[in-house]
Amino acid sequence: MKNKTVFFCNDCGYESQKWVGKCPACGMWNTMVEEKISPEGSKSARKDYMKTEAARSKRLADIEAEREERFYTGISELDRVLGGGIVKGSLVLVGGDPGIGKSTLLLQMCETVGTKENILYVSAEESQSQIKMRADRLGVKNPSLLLLSETDLERICDAISETSPKIVIIDSVQTVYSGELTSAAGSVSQVREVTAALMRIAKESGISVFIVGHVTKDGAIAGPKVLEHMVDCVLYFEGERHQFYRILRAVKNRFGSTNEIGVFEMCDKGLSEITNPSMMLLSGRPEDVSGSCVICTLEGTRPVLAEVQALVSRSNFPAPRRMSAGIDYNRINLLIAVLEKRVGLNLSTQDAYVNVVGGIRVDEPAADLGVALAIASSFKGIKIPSGTLAVGEVGLTGEVRAVNSIDKRIAEGIKLGFDCIIIPAGNEKHIPPSGGTVIHKVSNIQEAIEAVENSAKSKET
């Protein structure tokens, strides 16, 4: 018997034999998705299956677990984000905006991975000649690399079984379709079915599979959210298309740490690694100017220094403007309110613009102190010395709270030549040897501003 297809509502679960635009049960539009229904087997078959599954279960203490088998990609930043290399039989989803460099990174990986076994690159969006032109531009000449231009899932599976590759790259999952479903490629049911088939191939044969995913206008992976739950690792490629720098971030990793980042620079011949992102983000920074402060954010296990710039000017509107780039807008409003209430700065009539230089996004509360100092510096006209680094979380009462891994942050600042570091007083017990670097321990935002003012006066004299 052939598989049957039915349509059901994502919201209420109503089933229908044909697709309808509006769900008859809940009245929601465009919620009907297609599903395959396999024919029911006999009762005896189900009983045998149940016996087999019961026989396979084991006690936790009787299971011998070995360390996962990994191999390196040859790109240290990518290996870092993956947790130490590619895990055999893993399914990795790479998402990002169009033109950000997803296909470029994976094609470069085919050259640097260093395996003599076959690598199958499946492109559902480009022809083989187009991929060849791009490979020549990137300098990819791996003789083990096989190219396939195909959108049919069944044919892709046949090619995988014929070539027995070590790595399979699918570019992209939204353009591949299964002939067993009548819905168009990219629909919820097609994406789910294609991903499930690739996951079975990866787990049963030990092939490492990379799939490229498109993103929506909100920056999320297009398709059902279950797509991210099915895969072993989810990597997001971030950055502005008109800037040179790209950030590869792991938001899910079953075999490594999450929130690790890899930094790349887009060049004429592809992506090049940035081994020291702090120096990259601080290059070209103006010295001894108001409204500029250096912060230290922790990305996974890596401390990264970045410059925060703030511009405060008198507003010509009844309601002052607040704009932010690279940091949460609501967090900026909160810090402005703390500066106005606890420090006495009259910011209610001032426009405030805050930007994290370099295109990096900062979500960590440890950046609060640096952002607040940049805003106060621009408002009061204080020139923050270029060798000043600020780390700390600011509370609603104006207190500066302790942050984690303060030793790593201070060590990174000292390594890059910062001679004045402002930290919370609660981190006093965890200060590493600082040499000639001055460590200011502050308990509230007022003390931090005074420390900056005194440091600026001593620099002038």
| Mean pLDDT value of segment 207-234 | 80
Residue 137 belongs to a domain: yes
Q: Is 61 a domain residue?
A: no
- Amino acid occupying residue 174: Q
Kindly state whether residues 288 and 426 are assigned to the same domain.
yes
With a CB cutoff of 8 Å and minimum separation 6, the contacts of 129 are none
Tell me, yes or no, whether 268 lies in a domain. Answer: yes
- In total, how many domains does the chain have? 3
Q: What are phi and psi of 83, to 5 degrees?
A: 95, 20
Residues belonging to the chain: 461
395 vs 7 pLDDT, higher one:
395
C-alpha span between 142 and 363 (Å, rounded)? 40
Quick check: is 52 in a domain?
no
Nearest to 222 by CA among 246, 247, 187: 187
290 with 199, same domain? no
* 132-181 tens-digit pLDDT: 999 999 999 999 999 999 999 999 999 999 999 999 999 989 899 998 88
Token pair in block for residue 340 = 């106005």
Q: In this structure, is residue 56 part of a structural domain?
A: no
Q: Band of the pLDDT at 373, cuts 50, 70, 90?
A: very high
Domain range for 341: 284-456
**Which tokens is 363 given?**
């979500």
- Asked whether residue 60 is domain-assigned, the answer is no
- What's the rounded Cα separation, in Å, for the pair 461 and 456? 9
Residues 271 and 288 both lie in one domain: no
246 and 312, same domain (yes or no): no
Radius of gyration of the chain (CA): 27
Q: Are residues 269 and 158 in the same domain?
A: yes
Residue reference for tokens 């998402």: 95
DSSP secondary-structure letter at 339?
I
Same domain, 407 and 380: yes
Among residues 232, 251, 275, which one ends one of the domains? 275
Asked whether residue 249 falls in the same domain as residue 294, the answer is no
Are 169 and 314 members of one domain?
A: no
In a domain, 91, yes or no: yes
pLDDT at residue 43, rounded to an integer = 44
* pLDDT value, residue 62: 82
The model carries a pTM of 0.77
Q: How far, in Å, CA of 6 to CA of 270, rounded?
A: 45
Residues 310 and 408 occupy one common structural domain = yes
DSSP 340: I
Considering the domain architecture, whether residues 327 and 302 belong to the same structural domain is answered as: yes
CB 440 within 8 A of CB 420: yes
